[in-house]
Amino acid sequence: MRADVTELPVSIPIPTGAALAAAPVNRFAHRRLRHVGELAIEVVLFAAAFSAVAVTVAIVGILVYESAAFFSHVPLVDFLTDTQWTIMFSEKHYGVAPLLAGTLVTTTVGLLLAIPVGTVTAIYLSEFAGARTREIVKPVLELLAGIPTVVYGYFALVMVTPALQFFMPELPGFNMLGPGLVIGIMIIPYVSSVAEDAMRAVPVHMREGSYAMGATRLQTALRVVVPAATSGIVAAYILGISRAIGETMVVAVAAGQQPNFTWDPREPGATITAFIVQVALGDLPHGSIEYQSIFAVGLVLVLMTLSFNLLGHLARKRFREAY
């Protein structure tokens, strides 16, 4: 048998009986070079994965650090309860409520448009459209997501608002309704594309089970496919909400940039993001209260999206289907 063994491509010479007795060689010892190579690759992979985490931690750290400076001047209670945000004026009020209301109003208007339209689009593309229709409609929809948001901003200002004024003559030129609707249009592709992927992932045999019971396409779509895809559809909505909350240019351009504590979308307003742009573009001294304030409101923004992501995560766990 020994003659056969020596033919194996083993670099370490196989000790014969006498040599083995004289100088014991461990043929199963670690190969140093192999381990170095593996380790190097592992380090590179870890660094790549860790960089994203590190950046996130750094951003949150800076937000918290600068916010702490802000809250050493402004009591947290004022920040949360005051209903005016007049940080650029001589008589300063530090209530985040107007910015928060602006964000919530534009987001809500956007979602009221994007969630129904996006869901219906997803159902149509997944369950009704033929392959050719889908091949045309999907890329066009995804093109919507590729348009720079500043273009959407001008679209809101010079097209949508004037169009709305045709029906509501008293609507001011800057308002939250127009930008809210445009945000809705902007996030339709996000909602529809993720929701459609979730619906198409529902196995064919589940659809066939429904058809075999005499169900129509619509019944199958609404009673079987949508419930089966709930977790993915919720994920689509959460993605849409996060995009809407974080949207900046549309509201900065078309909503008026006036911190205005109102829940009426017809009025002008400013969102958290629009305010940050406004301040960040001005030449404010580093360390001033105005400068620090953008970190405080930025922290609020991060907390909002974070809580929506958590909610989405919980919802996905709740509705996850094991098919």
Site membership for another protein, residue 214 (CB under 8 A): yes
CB of 129 to another protein, least distance (A): 10
Site membership for another protein, residue 321 (CB under 8 A): yes
Given 10, 208, 282, 313, the residue binding another protein (CB under 8 A): 208
CB of 220 to another protein, least distance (A): 9
> How many residues bind to another protein according to rule CB under 8 A?
24
Given 112, 137, 206, 289, the residue binding another protein (CB under 8 A): 206
Distance CA 177, CA 254 (A): 10
Question: Which one of the spans 35-43, 107-115, 211-219, 269-277 is the region binding another protein (CB under 8 A)?
Answer: 211-219
289 vs 73, 237, 262, 265, CA distance in Å?
8, 36, 25, 29
CB of 251 to another protein, least distance (A): 38
Report the amino acid identity of residue 268: P
Site membership for another protein, residue 322 (CB under 8 A): yes
Site membership for another protein, residue 282 (CB under 8 A): no
Identity of the residue, 2 or 132, whose beta carbon is nearer to another protein in the bound complex: 132
CB of 131 to another protein, least distance (A): 6
Identity of the residue, 86 or 210, whose beta carbon is nearer to another protein in the bound complex: 210
Contact, 178 vs 266, CB < 8 A?
no
258 vs 246, 261, 270, CA distance in Å?
18, 9, 5
Closest CA to 190 of 232, 226, 220: 232
Residue 201 has which token pair?
A: 């992932």
Distance CA 53, CA 260 (A): 36
Identity of the residue, 21 or 131, whose beta carbon is nearer to another protein in the bound complex: 131
Site membership for another protein, residue 203 (CB under 8 A): yes
Contact, 248 vs 273, CB < 8 A?
yes
Site membership for another protein, residue 227 (CB under 8 A): yes
Question: Which one of the spans 28-36, 56-64, 109-117, 208-216 is the region binding another protein (CB under 8 A)?
Answer: 208-216
Identity of the residue, 43 or 213, whose beta carbon is nearer to another protein in the bound complex: 213
Angle at the Cα of 190 from the Cα atoms of 323 and 223, rounded to 5 degrees: 40
CB atoms within 10 A of CB 180: 28
Given 89, 166, 167, 323, the residue binding another protein (CB under 8 A): 323
Question: Which one of the spans 1-9, 81-89, 210-218, 302-310 is the region binding another protein (CB under 8 A)?
Answer: 210-218
Residues 91-130 that bind another protein (CB under 8 A): 130
Contact, 74 vs 289, CB < 8 A?
yes
Given 165, 210, 248, 309, the residue binding another protein (CB under 8 A): 210
Given 176, 228, 300, 304, the residue binding another protein (CB under 8 A): 228
Identity of the residue, 106 or 220, whose beta carbon is nearer to another protein in the bound complex: 220
Site membership for another protein, residue 317 (CB under 8 A): no
Given 46, 50, 65, 211, the residue binding another protein (CB under 8 A): 211
Binding site for another protein (CB under 8 A): 130-131, 203, 205-216, 219, 223-224, 227-228, 230, 321-323
